[in-house]
Structure 1
Amino acid sequence: MTVRDLATATPRTGEQSSRVSADAVWRLPVTVCRITDFLGKRASAALLERVVAEAGGAMAPSTVDGSSVVPEVRRSRSAWFGAPELLEAIDEVLEVVENTLHVSCRDTEPSYCLNVHNDGDFYRAHQDTDGSGYSERLLTFVYYLHRTPRPFQGGALRVFDALHPVDPEKTPTWEGCTWRDYAPEHDSIVFFRPTVWHEVRKVGCPSGRPEDSRFAVNGWLCRRPTLPSAREDVN
Structure 2
Amino acid sequence: MTTQDTAARHDTLTGPSEAVDRRSPVSADAIWRLPVTVCRITQFLGEQTAGALLERAIASADDTLKPSTIRDQELVPDFRRSRSRGDFAAPELMAAIDEVLEAVEHTLGVSCRHTEPEYGLNVHNDGDFYRPHQDTDVRLAPRRLLTFVYYLHRTPRPFSGGELRVFDAALPLHTDTAGKWRERTWRDWEPEHDSIVFFRPTAWHEVRPVGCPGKQHADSRFAVNGWLCSPDPANRPAPS
User: Do the two structures share a fold, i.e. TM-score over 0.5?
Assistant: yes
Extract unaligned runs of 5+ from structure 1: 1-15, 231-235
1:91 equivalent in structure 2: 98
Q: Please point out which of 68, 74, 84 is paired with 2:74.
A: 68
Q: Hey, which of these two has a bigger chunk of helix by percent?
A: 2
Q: Please point out which of 211, 216, 233 is paired with 1:209.
A: 216
Would the aligned equivalents of 1:56 and 1:211 in 2 still touch at CA under 8 Å?
A: no
Would the aligned equivalents of 2:170 and 2:178 in 1 still touch at CA under 8 Å?
A: no
Q: Please point out which of 170, 175, 178 is paired with 2:182.
A: 175
Q: Please point out which of 214, 223, 229 is paired with 1:222.
A: 229
Structure 1 outlier segments of 4+, above 2 Å = 55-58, 130-134, 168-171, 226-230
- TM-superposed CA distance for 1:228, in Å, is 6.0
Residues 46, 169 of structure 1: alpha-carbon distance in 2 compared, 3 angstrom cutoff: closer
How many residues are aligned here?
215
SS of 2:100 mapped into structure 1:
helix
1:50 equivalent in structure 2: 56
What amino acid maps onto 1:97 in structure 2? Answer: V
- TM-superposed CA distance for 1:17, in Å, is 4.6
Would the aligned equivalents of 1:55 and 1:211 in 2 still touch at CA under 8 Å?
A: no
CA distance in 2, matches of 1:139, 1:165: 26
Q: Is 1:104 aligned to residue 111 of structure 2? A: yes
RMSD, aligned CA? 1.8
186-195 vs 159-168, greater mean Cα deviation: 159-168
Q: Percent identity?
A: 65
- Residues 28-76 of structure 1, C-alpha deviation per residue, up to 9 Å, x if partnerless? 1110000000000000000000000015543110001141010110000
SS of 1:175 mapped into structure 2:
helix
CA distance in 2, matches of 1:169, 1:122: 30
- Residues 132-176 of structure 1, C-alpha deviation per residue, up to 9 Å, x if partnerless? 995100000000000001000000000000122211344322224
Residues 112, 167 of structure 1: alpha-carbon distance in 2 compared, 3 angstrom cutoff: same
- TM-superposed CA distance for 1:20, in Å, is 1.4
Q: Is 1:23 aligned to residue 32 of structure 2? A: no
Residues 147, 66 of structure 1: alpha-carbon distance in 2 compared, 3 angstrom cutoff: farther
43-52 vs 129-138, greater mean Cα deviation: 129-138
1:125 equivalent in structure 2: 132
- TM-superposed CA distance for 1:130, in Å, is 4.8
- TM-superposed CA distance for 1:82, in Å, is 0.6
1:154 equivalent in structure 2: 161
Q: Is 1:116 aligned to residue 108 of structure 2? A: no
- TM-superposed CA distance for 1:204, in Å, is 0.1
CA distance in 2, matches of 1:49, 1:229: 42
TM-score relative to the length of structure 1: 0.87
- Residues 159-198 of structure 1, C-alpha deviation per residue, up to 9 Å, x if partnerless? 0001222113443222241100000000000000000000
Would the aligned equivalents of 1:131 and 1:195 in 2 still touch at CA under 8 Å?
A: no
Residues 134, 196 of structure 1: alpha-carbon distance in 2 compared, 3 angstrom cutoff: closer
Extract unaligned runs of 5+ from structure 2: 1-21
State the structure with more CA Rg.
Answer: 2
CA distance in 2, matches of 1:55, 1:66: 24
CA distance in 2, matches of 1:138, 1:53: 31
Would the aligned equivalents of 2:146 and 2:198 in 1 still touch at CA under 8 Å?
A: yes
